[in-house]
Amino acid sequence: MRPTKAVIPAAGLGVRFLPATKAQAKEMLTLVDRPAIHYVVEEAVAAGIRSFLIITARNKTAIEDYFDASPELERALREKGEEALVEEIHALSELAQMHYLRQPRPLGLGHAVFLARAFVGEEDFAVVLPDDLITAGEPCLGQMLAVRERWPGAVVALQEVAPDMTSRYGIVKAVEVEPDVYRIEDLVEKPSPERAPSRLAVVGRYILPASIFPLLATTAPGTGGEIQLTDALRLLAREYPVYGYRFRGRRFDLGDKLGFLQATVTLALGRPDLGPALREFLRGSIF
């Protein structure tokens, strides 16, 4: 069955965006006129996901408020004749079934995913990281689901990175089974360039079986003293087919200031109401 549930880990402290994230969830920082988390939820919904569990932490209630109904705001907008805005705001509360669970301590991505075990049950499910914005004609998660239909198993998104960037990612050792699809034999969390088995990095999209949970339960803290999802995937690959897919599209790292700015400009240039004027401004700028 195609997965219909997704887990969005959103409990991080957002240290790289301080002081802005001192009082605001990193996932709620605005790209043009929508928070970052909005874009990844839309991508997953377009791929057929209908139910989400967002793993949050203290000071993250704005995420819940954003996807909740807002009758007072809708009424005020309707009184001003802003029917288009009313429809847009109302659609947020009907986008999908949203559920929330707090991660009590920052114990890593693997721990955040493990907390979703009751929500997931025995189904396959998706994990979508809000720090990774991927623009593509076909949603990245949808591309991965198509791969899963041809190659049953777990599927993770891959991106080729520069040699000096391997220490920031989980890097795979894999064999290509068809163009851009790889059977993963092993994974290494944040290796130095000398230790990296390839330049193919795992980025923030996963389709996983429920059998990942017992593996996460026994995964010891790894790099950074956190429970790494990569370590559990290594164990999974020994007993279950795990594939990597080099997706079609462009990825922006929203956990990085430059990546966030690049995403903002790219999204704005693609908007018919903003793109022409912004393009003209950029052409005429001193830069």
Is cis: bond before 241, omega within 30 of 0?
A: no
CA dihedral 97, 264, 170, 14 (to 10 degrees): -70
Compute the Cα dihedral for 265, 267, 268, 272 and give only its sign.
positive
Output the pLDDT for position 21: 84
Query: Rounded mean pLDDT of 97-116?
Result: 92
Is the pLDDT at 261 greater than 70? The verdict is yes
Is the pLDDT at 268 greater than 70? The verdict is yes
In a domain, 286, yes or no: no
Tell me, rounded to whole angstroms, the distance of Cα 157 from its chain centroid. 10
Half-sphere exposure (CA, 13 Å, Cβ side) for 227?
Answer: 19
Residues 27-70 pLDDT 10s: 999 999 999 999 999 999 999 999 999 999 888 889 999 998 88
Q: For tokens 């003209």, what's the residue? A: 280
Is the pLDDT at 286 greater than 70? The verdict is no
Is the pLDDT at 223 greater than 70? The verdict is no
In a domain, 274, yes or no: no
In a domain, 36, yes or no: yes
In a domain, 39, yes or no: yes
DSSP track, 200-236? EEEEEEEEE-TTHHHHHHTPPP-GGGS--HHHHHHHH
57 phi and psi, to 5 degrees? -150, -175
In a domain, 149, yes or no: yes
CA distance 233 to 118: 20
CA distance 62 to 24: 8
Burial 72-110 (b: 16+ CB within 10 A, else e): eebeebeeeeeeeebeebeebeeebebebbebeeebbbb
Is the pLDDT at 287 greater than 70? The verdict is no
- Chain-wide mean pLDDT for the chain? 92
Total structural domains within the chain? 1
Q: Tell me if 209 sits within 8 A of 240, measured CB to CB.
A: yes
Query: Could you tell me the two tokens for 132?
Result: 């990774």
In a domain, 282, yes or no: no
**Minimal CA–CA distance to 101: which of 60, 72, 138, 144?**
60
Residues 176-190 pLDDT 10s: 999 999 999 999 888
pTM of the model: 0.91
In a domain, 285, yes or no: no
Residues 188-207 pLDDT 10s: 888 899 899 999 999 999 99
CA distance 27 to 33: 13
Q: Is 246 helix (H, G, I), strand (E, B) or coil?
A: strand
What are the C-alpha distances in Å from 64 to residues 40, 61, 69, 98, 102? 15, 5, 10, 8, 12
Domain range for 71:
5-255
Residues 67-80 pLDDT 10s: 988 889 989 999 88
CATH at 69:
3.90.550.10
Query: Rounded mean pLDDT of 218-228?
Result: 80
Query: Rounded mean pLDDT of 225-246?
Result: 92
Amino acid letter, residue 187: L
In a domain, 263, yes or no: no
Is the pLDDT at 225 greater than 70? The verdict is yes
CA distance 154 to 150: 12
- The percentage of residues in the chain with a pLDDT greater than 90, rounded to a whole number, is 69
Query: Could you tell me the two tokens for 168?
Result: 């920031």
Q: Tell me if 202 sits within 8 A of 187, measured CB to CB.
A: yes
Amino acid letter, residue 212: I
